[in-house]
Structure 1
Amino acid sequence: MAESEVIGDSYHMGKRVVVVPGMENVRAAFQTLKWPDYMICALTLLCSVIIGVYVSFFYTPVTAKEYFLGKKKLKIIPVGLSICASFISGFLMIKIPTDTYLYGIQHVYLIIGSIAMTLVMNHIFLPVLYRLNLTSVYEYLEKRFDKKLRLFGAVLYIIYMLSWLPLTICIASATFVSVTELNINFVTPVLCTICIFYTSLGGLKAVIWTDVFHMVIIFASLILITVKGTLDIGHIDVIVDRNLQSGRIEGPNLNLNLSETNTLWTSVFGGCMYYLFVSAINQNVMQKYLALPSLKDAIKTSWLFVFTLCLITMLCTYCGIIIYAMFHQCDPLTTKLAAEKNQVLALFVMKVLSEYSGMSGLFIAGIWSGTLSSWATVLNSVTAVVVEDIYTIFSTTQFREKQWSILLTKFTSIVLGIICACLAYTVNNVDTVLKINSIIFSVTGGPSLGLFIMGIMFPWINTKGVFIGGISSLCFMAWLIFNTLAGNNFTSPTKSLTTTECRYHFVPQQIFTDQTNTSGVLTLGEEFFQMSYLWHPLLGVLISVLVGFSINLLLDSPDPRDVDPRLLAPFVKKYIKPREFPNEPGDGIIYAFDSSKKVTNDVSSLECMQPNNS
């Protein structure tokens, strides 16, 4: 038989011509959304609007505080589901299966870090922040230190969140466009407009109840694709066996290399700090805890949140395992059937669900639900920070208790939503937005968390030390990240990917660039500059605390007994010896009487206290 030769989409094999489908034909075959799919997507958006209108009709907040906290009458289950829905986002619903397909299940061990975070938050952060009756968590920084630190923390939060919102919208829009012929410039404004509408209309309560609805859609979509994918492959043993052979299912990585993204140590220690930053001190999560009737309810809600988060993480990971079992001999990234890695999940869904009208639409609705939940939560929380932390600092009027504050609050929400929509609309490249967000997270995460840790856990540290520590940490992390970008990019090696059984014509493509350091061994300096992003919050905290303590040694330290005990962690208060007298000043005055003796009305007992005029 003569040697085969590729001509267009045909193979000349001797006297036979074997016609195989071309890439465009195969890609077009996967774009099979039908009108029931579009109908389910449209109904998801419509229901979100209806819930927002319904809540705003039956619930009318009088002040900005009621608008942001729902009158503190929310329930455990809705709030717990809402926190999880906003935390997962459409981005993580795509990222976790994709990372499993490419790198294996090491990210699952982040669950340990999330549980550790919950323990720390419930015993250190939540008891302090909840009992202060806050609206914005950054109010704590003013109560503990001063307005400058409150403004500093609020600005870092706003910058980070404004970089994160376009990412969620880009992911959701790109996923929908990858399986349809619609333009991304049409999808993005529609999602943004709907989210802005119901968020500004109903406040936090509308966000909570739309999140509950979205959580139902998310669970339904994940269960649907995992069950159908398992049935298509045939048996769960086949799925497990294929992933075991490729090394995707494996035990925890005990390597001490800082540059590896997912090791056991990264997941436990780095993951705990990462989750503390995105949960314990982030307004978008803590605001929902503050809206509950009691601290006991808030603690229960935190455990419901972490349980639901672990459940969805496992579902998304199993989905990634199924994807590999489905494509284990024909990788769509190498063939470029999937233009980028974020489209692998959408490709898998269209393959297993396209024969059932409406089912693919349910998956798209799940991605949109995660996106809308994240968007609504962040939009509401950023509005709260702007109103409570920015406006009130520079305003001379009492704002929050005025009835007209509701109108200004809603107007602020709409303006911020439009700004975020413009950012998402102008930046449609997912990789670019992801890179920008990762940089801002790495730079701001540690300094922000360090401010709260120094305030809650170290009563003897002074305000100047905290401020200089936070600024120093911010500058150091910016220097580190930009030096990392300027250096060599060490990419994480993927697991085995093959194309031996592909049934269509393609030009092989390299998925990722090779590691610049071909030896595979990093020097200590290279390892430091290429450390996993999960280590960045921990490093930022250490820098801010070390600098803060150094400054504290050079200046006068405040007396821990002068700090309001409500501003300190419960276990810290136990080690602060109370003053002998409640009104004893901290200016070093020596009292001219013995506290061990009872005070009497006998004049002679006071003679020693009379001034000597002789």
Structure 2
Amino acid sequence: MNAGGSLVYDYVVFVLLILASFGVTIFGRISGPKEKTKADFAFAANNRVSVPAMMLSIARGFLGVRVFLGYPSELYYRGSAMWETLYGMILAYPIVCFFFVPVYYSLGITSVYQYLDLRFKSRLVRCLASGTYLLRSILNLGVTVFTPCVALKTIIGLPYWASISSVVAISIFFTVMGGLRTAIIADVSQLLVMFGCSMVIIIQGTVTAGGPAQVLNISHTEGRLQFFNWDMDPTIRVTTVSAIFGQLFMSLSIFGCQQNFVQRYCSMESQAKVTQTLLMNIPVMSILFSLSWVVGMVVFANYYMCDPKALGYINDIDEILAFYVEDRFYFMPGFLGLVMASLFNGALSLMFSNLNSLAIVMGEDFLFQIPAFKGISDNAQLWSIKILGAICGVMVMGVAFLVAHLSGVIEASMLMTSATSGPLLGVFILAMFFPPANWKGAACGMITSHILVLWLTFGSLTISKTPIANLPVSVEGCTNSTFSPNIPPLPPQSDPLWEEDWDSVDPVVNPALDDSNFLTSLYLMTYMYYSLLGTFITVIVGLFISLITVSEEDSYDEKLVHQWASRLYRWLPGKHKCFINDGSVEDPSTVSGGLDSCRIASVEKVVSYKNSGI
């Protein structure tokens, strides 16, 4: 649909920005300290990462291309309900800061899942957790890689195979070139470009819509701004309740238990800087998250009387932002190419950043546990991790191609991501806050939670659900001057679409209201609650199994449990156990010096763990 001359500019800008990404990565590789060991690769050589850069990298790790491309269309066609997930994210930051980070910051571990091995002395629990992370990340990255490819194919005409292969190939190149420091540089540069594009769209769209007051008024009167829905019906896609609690547990799993985020925390010089970074990131995340929703308000204010999807200009709601840029920025040759490049580079930086973490987990939790790979040199470990990153990239590419050729895979993979958050968070809660928990309970809790939540997830895909209802749109205000000369003329007045009532929507009938089948009602539960449900199942089953399988072999290290949980545990009746110097299990009340001696011995035990290189 683009004019020929403008399309040339878009291609040129697109290619130049991709080349600029190479330049930034190579600059980061040349200018920074060299990575000689896996620790340098995992935690940035010499820990020379500033607080502002780390803040933007953490924000970028959560705000992917689906945020930039998907949230504007979400507000345009479905309203602001999903915006309220911001509440859960904000609540998650201080919890991670004061409850999760203090436990494993000073342990000197490369993979966060090593913590579970130290806490439960169980390779099984560690592998279950790291395997969950690997599965979730590969599925999620496959969708992340594919998402911008839709826009690239629709607007620029780049075929799926070319865009998917390019993203993966460049990401593998970046992974081989550098570790965490290079990933952070890529995150920051791509976030700044995406921020700049959003601001340009907001400013231009606000001016053409008649000003900020007009944008707000149109969004409000047309039902796009609806907040504080306290309906407790669990089958509603998203309400204020599910946004707070569902997103809280999902965010805790992501920010507190996911390798790519914990890896960034542990790369900082001190725990005080981690605290500063996380707390300062709350307003940064809030602004960046809200920016995409403001873009959606601006786009809607310009099209609310003449919807492009109703006229057949776009086929999918996620194409609305790309169409808007193509339509309204025809006077700025190359800007569409800039937006498309930011989408491409956004997927690229997320892919690169996550490949780094995936490779670390695969190496530390699986490859280096094989006897043949134990004791190899630091340089051999470093290159083994880079090769694993390349293998992970190929696996992600396979998932992306699968998404491109099969219907419904995107929704299924999103549900999978939600379903795996709960068991992962639950096992970390067991480890950090429940001293009596043992490896048997942790393993049974995770396995049970996975089975039940995945059964619920796949069960929800087998029933006939009411499609998500879009809010009303209109074509009443369409004229020949509505769209730019860059867009083909409007359909003729004889076209049946002009007679359709676009200003109304069919009422949504929830099958759960008329179906007494308990399983059907359960399957209709929104995926927003899957992480909460999975967490509670893991903790409850884990504690129950731990209490009925308790034995003299069970022990825990006080350094590996949050200090508040440890103090509370001392007030409970019964025999309290912990590690002491010789590794035996004792009742602290019988140890010379009591609890303080047990605690001191605990610290010494952790030091011995760190020195052993586990």
**8 Å contact from structure 1 (residues 104, 249) kept in 2:** yes
Counterpart CA distance in 2 for 1:371 and 1:498 is 33
Query: Residue type of the partner of 1:563?
Result: Y
Correspondences of 1:448-597 after superposition (within 5 Å): 448-503=424-479, 504-505=490-491, 508=497, 515=508, 517=510, 525=518, 526-556=520-550, 562-577=555-570, 586=585
Note the C-alpha offset of 1:460.
0.6
Percent identity of equivalent pairs = 22
- CA 1:473–1:580 in 2, change beyond 3 Å: closer, same or farther? closer
Q: Deviations over 1:363-422 (max 9, x none)?
A: 223222321221111111101111111112223544575222222222222222223223
Out of 298, 308, 315, the position equivalent to 1:332 is 308
When structure 1 is superposed on structure 2, of 303-312 and 430-439 the one drifting more is 430-439
Deviations, residues 79-124 of structure 1 (Å, cap 9, x unaligned): 1111212221111111111111112112222221111101110111
Q: Secondary structure at the match of 2:545?
A: helix
Structure 1 position 439, deviation (Å): 3.1
CA contact (8 A) 1:64 1:401 kept: no
For the pair 1:53 / 2:29, whether they are aligned, the reply is no
Give the stretch that moved more between structures: 318-327 or 567-576: 567-576
The SS at the match of 1:428 is helix
Deviation for aligned residue 1:250:
2.4
Give a deviation string over 1:346-369, Cα, whole Å, max 9, x none: 111112212111222222232223
Contact 1:84-1:308 at 8 Å conserved across structures: yes
Which of 264, 288, 297 is the matching residue for 2:273? Answer: 297
Indicate which of 319, 337, 342 corresponds to 1:366.
Answer: 342
- Asked whether 1:124 is paired with 2:99, we answer yes
- Determine whether 1:238 maps to 2:232: no
3-state SS of 1:62 partner: coil
Q: What are the equivalent positions in structure 2 for 1:435-446 lying under 5 Å apart? A: 435-446=411-422
Give the alignment of 1:241-390 within 5 angstroms: 241-390=217-366
- Secondary structure of 2:230's counterpart equals coil
Structure 1 range deviating more: 430-439 or 207-216: 430-439
1:188 alignment partner, SS class: helix
Following the alignment from structure 2 to structure 1, what is the Cα–Cα distance between the partners of residues 367 and 328? 51
| Aligned-partner SS, 1:111 | helix
**Following TM superposition, by how much is the alpha carbon of 1:589 offset from its aligned partner in structure 2, in angstroms?**
11
CA pair 520-405 structure 1, distance change in 2 beyond 3 A? same
Equivalent residue, structure 2, for 1:89: 64
Measured in 2, the distance between the counterparts of 1:581 and 1:323 equals: 60
Q: Structure 1 residues 375, 576: CA separation in 2 closer, same or farther (over 3 Å shift)? A: same
- Displacement after TM superposition at 1:513 (Å): 9.4
| Residue 36 (structure 1) aligned with residue 9 (structure 2) | yes
Change (3 A) 1:490 1:566: farther
Alpha carbons of 1:192 and 1:587: their partners in 2 closer, same or farther (altered >3 Å)?
closer
Judged with a 3 Å threshold, the aligned counterparts in structure 2 of structure 1 residues 298 and 247 are, in CA distance, closer, same or farther, namely same
Q: How many Å separate the matches in 1 of 2:464 and 2:15?
A: 45
Paired residue type of 2:34: T
Residues 231, 476 of structure 1: alpha-carbon distance in 2 compared, 3 angstrom cutoff: same
Greater shift, 243-252 or 460-469, is seen at 243-252
CA distance in 2, matches of 1:336, 1:258: 34
Write the distance in 1 (CA, Å) between the matches of 2:406 and 2:286.
26
Query: In structure 2, what is the equivalent of residue 164 of structure 1?
Result: 140
Distance in 1, matches of 2:313 and 2:52, equals: 41
| 8 Å contact from structure 1 (residues 383, 413) kept in 2 | yes
AA matched with 2:557: D
Which residue number corresponds to residue 38 of structure 2?
A: 64
Q: 1:510 to 1:131 in 2, by over 3 A?
A: farther
Please give the alpha-carbon distance, in whole angstroms, between the structure 2 residues aligned to 1:115 and 1:542: 21
Q: Distance in 1 between matches of 2:186 and 2:204?
A: 27
Residue identity in the other structure for 2:90: I
How far apart, CA to CA, are the structure 2 residues paired with 1:184 and 1:432? 17
Q: Any stretches of 5+ residues in structure 2 without a counterpart? A: 480-489, 571-575, 595-614
Quote how far apart the aligned CAs of 1:139 are. 0.5
2:41·2:382 contact (CA, 8 Å) conserved in 1? yes
Q: Deviation per CA, 1:22-78, whole angstroms, max 9, x where unpaired?
A: xxxxxx258985333223222222122122223333432121121111133322111
1:139 aligns with 2:114: yes
String of CA shifts for 1:131-177, please: whole Å, max 9, x gaps. Answer: 21221111011001111111111111111111111211111111122
Q: What aligned pairs does 1:409-420 form with structure 2 within 5 A after superposition?
A: 409-420=385-396
Cα 1:457–1:351, aligned 2, differ >3 Å: closer, same or farther?
same
TM-score of the two chains, using structure 1 as the length reference: 0.86
Distance across 1 between alignment mates of 2:362 and 2:191: 28
Task: State the match for 1:190 in structure 2.
Answer: 166
Structure 2 match to 1:76: 51
Quote the Cα distance in structure 1 between the aligned partners of 2:385 and 2:61. Answer: 21
C-alpha displacement of 1:208: 0.7
Equivalent position of 2:128 in the other structure: 152
Deviation at 1:338?
0.9
TM-score, normalization by structure 2: 0.86
Unaligned residue ranges in structure 1 (runs of 5+) = 1-27, 596-614
Tell me which moved more, 154-163 or 393-402. Answer: 393-402
> CA–CA distance in 2 between the matches of 1:477 and 1:393?
30
Q: What letter matches 1:344 in structure 2? A: I
Q: How many Å apart are 1:308 and its aligned residue?
A: 2.2
Tell which structure's C-alpha radius of gyration is larger: 1
Map of 1:115 onto structure 2: 90
Equivalent-residue separation in structure 1 for 2:279 and 2:348 (angstroms): 23
Query: Matches of 2:114 and 2:412 in 1, distance apart?
Result: 28
Q: Cα gap change, 1:580/1:385 in structure 2, threshold over 3 Å: closer, same or farther?
A: closer
Q: C-alpha displacement at 1:228, in angstroms? A: 0.7
In structure 2, distance between residues paired with 1:189 and 1:590: 62
Q: In 1, Cα distance between the equivalents of 2:431 and 2:263? A: 19
1:91–1:171: 8 Å Cα contact kept in structure 2? yes
Alpha-carbon separation, structure 1, partners of 2:547 and 2:44: 44
- Return the letter of the residue paired with 1:295: Q
Q: Root-mean-square deviation (CA), in Å?
A: 2.9
Q: Tell me how far apart the structure 1 counterparts of residues 267 and 468 of structure 2 sit (CA, whole Å).
A: 41
Partner Cα distance (1:104, 1:401) in 2: 55
Are residues 236 and 524 of structure 1, via their aligned partners in 2, closer, same or farther at CA, if it must alter by over 3 Å? farther
- Contact 1:150/1:389 (<8 A) preserved: yes
For 2:19, the aligned partner's letter is L
C-alpha contact (below 8 Å) 1:79/1:301 kept by paired residues: yes
2:485 counterpart residue number: none
Q: 1:496 to 1:469 in 2, by over 3 A?
A: same
Matched positions, count: 567
Would the alpha carbon gap of residues 443 and 590 (structure 1) be closer, same or farther in structure 2, given more than 3 Å must change? closer
